[in-house]
Amino acid sequence: MNSKNFTWPVRVYYQHTDAGGVVYHGNYFDFMECARTELLQSLGFDLGHLARRQHLLFMVHSAQIAYHKPARLNDMLAVSARVARVGRARLVFMQTVKRGEETLVSAELTLACVDARTQKAVGVPEAIRRKLEEGT
Amino acid sequence: MNSKNFTWPVRVYYQHTDAGGVVYHGNYFDFMECARTELLQSLGFDLGHLARRQHLLFMVHSAQIAYHKPARLNDMLAVSARVARVGRARLVFMQTVKRGEETLVSAELTLACVDARTQKAVGVPEAIRRKLEEGT
Amino acid sequence: MNSKNFTWPVRVYYQHTDAGGVVYHGNYFDFMECARTELLQSLGFDLGHLARRQHLLFMVHSAQIAYHKPARLNDMLAVSARVARVGRARLVFMQTVKRGEETLVSAELTLACVDARTQKAVGVPEAIRRKLEEGT
Amino acid sequence: MNSKNFTWPVRVYYQHTDAGGVVYHGNYFDFMECARTELLQSLGFDLGHLARRQHLLFMVHSAQIAYHKPARLNDMLAVSARVARVGRARLVFMQTVKRGEETLVSAELTLACVDARTQKAVGVPEAIRRKLEEGT
């Protein structure tokens, strides 16, 4: 599958930075979570409803991340999310964080679809699969 | 002084919530930091430039906060920031976090203008004071 | 009531600091949460069990905080928690963050005892009340 | 090289968890940062002094992480850090997060030694290299 690239703007605030003067490495996971959430939202899926009504979570199962250049306070970033693969119970996302033309961070994340009550893997709901496979 | 109310939209993502199913109390300080930063940005002041070129920070000196109702995953919130007072070296902000018509959180924060190299209080820059006193 | 002071050591790591080179103001709420949790733990109460078995949360209802001096990377801090008052459904805590003899932060927090399923206030469990009133 | 395993205890507090009832995936990077900092501290190196006196940072350059099982509120975790390789300007760490005998998370992180003023890579200081190569 080959979905389109979804991009979400994020500004760097004090809470994202550390004493090195740059964004703390762990916080890019927040930026990427934000872009994935807004991608699903743009397709009509509300993670709050999924969690509370269907007890459905997307949990990060594994990740690879490369930090190329640091982002700094008040930078405007563009955080992308592209679905690279839709498995039975898993989604693979390719994501980047850019500042203008510069790629600051690139990452691949695999998420598992999980029942919040049992923490067991469940199938990706058909409606979500269909929308993602349509090409996002 | 009696500045206008500045409001900034914030969506609640997983990283903002805790095992109680609601936004963790400390994270509202991030939401409010975000609204203050965007208020200054809207007036033409870039906190990144202030920090790196003029070694100028606004540090929170004290805060009072009341939590009326919890925000939940994927809620769209409106975070306001209003400058209630501009002192020689301090700014007092009144802030709220609302979900539609409901006020979830209200707070008053006093910030000190500080030289980042010495951590000593310095006067609020004239340009910022003027813009804020004009009525935001 | 006049409980004893409980103190918990916390080291400042990169994730606690911001581009100002000091601990980000919102993160002191994490340090204080940590001391309150360990105080309850030292009395035999496990917040995880309370949440999962009894659907019981202590939610912060209001807070006042004063920042006297900033903490910096790798500082060893002593975070105190003292129960100032046990109400029917509320607990009032006085807390400080110290570095050696210096008080960096002081705060008063009121917590409400809440049923996680309904988000409604419930009475503080008798066992906890008794332990806290014994003098912590 | 084949350093010994350094382990640091971490308890899960509310701020680490999310609305899924488990530790938020990004927060394991905080746990691992904590173990690396305490490993260096145990060898006599203070990250605060390195940053402020020698303008020296260890920045995460890349990471691979696998989430095997979720940690929950109030769990006591053991976070390990082992130096797998000391390069000229890089350190490779193998890290795990365990609860008792269960491995919840395993990760490999590559850190670059950086001059904070220029953000350029610099050699790992001899004293640190020696201590790490001695076998931690």
Domains of chain D by range and CATH?
Answer: 6-133 (3.10.129.10)
Q: Residue A64 above 70 pLDDT?
A: yes
Closest chain A residue to the Cα of C72, Cα to Cα: A19
Note whether ipTM > 0.90 here: yes
Tokens 């046990």 label which residue?
A: C86
CA–CA min distance A5, chain B (Å): 20
Neighbouring chains to C with at least 3 Cβ pairs closer than 8 Å: A, B, D
Q: What is the pLDDT of residue B110?
A: 98
Closest chain C residue to the Cα of A52, Cα to Cα: C117
Residues of A carrying an active site annotation: 18
Q: Residue A1 above 60 pLDDT?
A: no
D19:B14 CB<8 A: yes
Q: Residue D111 above 60 pLDDT?
A: yes
Q: Residue C3 above 70 pLDDT?
A: no
Neighbouring chains to B with at least 3 Cβ pairs closer than 8 Å: A, C, D
Q: What residues in D contact C54, CB-CB < 8 Å?
A: none
CA–CA min distance B55, chain D (Å): 14
- Neighbouring C-beta atoms of residue C76, cutoff 10 Å: 12
DSSP label at residue D44: T
Q: Of C33, C48, C73, which is closest to D15 when you measure between CB atoms?
A: C33
D37:C72 CB<8 A: no
Q: Residue A88 above 80 pLDDT?
A: yes
Q: Residue B1 above 50 pLDDT?
A: no
Q: Residue A121 above 60 pLDDT?
A: yes
**How many residue pairs bridge chain A and chain D with CB atoms within 8 Å of each other?**
64
What is chain C's alpha carbon radius of gyration, rounded to the nearest angstrom? Answer: 15
Q: What is the pLDDT of residue D4?
A: 77
Closest chain B residue to the Cα of D17, Cα to Cα: B18
The tokens describing D29, both together, are 């990077």
Q: What is the pLDDT of residue A120?
A: 93
Q: Residue D1 above 70 pLDDT?
A: no
pLDDT, mean of residues C108-113: 98
CA–CA min distance B17, chain D (Å): 5
Q: What is the pLDDT of residue C133?
A: 84
Q: What is the mean pLDDT of chain D?
A: 94
Q: Please, which pLDDT band fits residue D22 given cuts at 50, 70 and 90?
A: very high
Q: Of D67, D114, D116, which is closest to A60 when you measure between CB atoms?
A: D67
Residues 6+ apart with CB under 8 A from B95: B32, B35, B36, B79, B80, B81, B82, B106, B107, B108, B109
Q: What is the pLDDT of residues D64-104, one digit of tens each?
A: 999 999 999 999 999 999 999 999 999 999 999 999 999 99
Q: What is the pLDDT of residue B100?
A: 98
Q: How many angstroms separate the CA atoms of C105 and C93, rounded?
A: 14
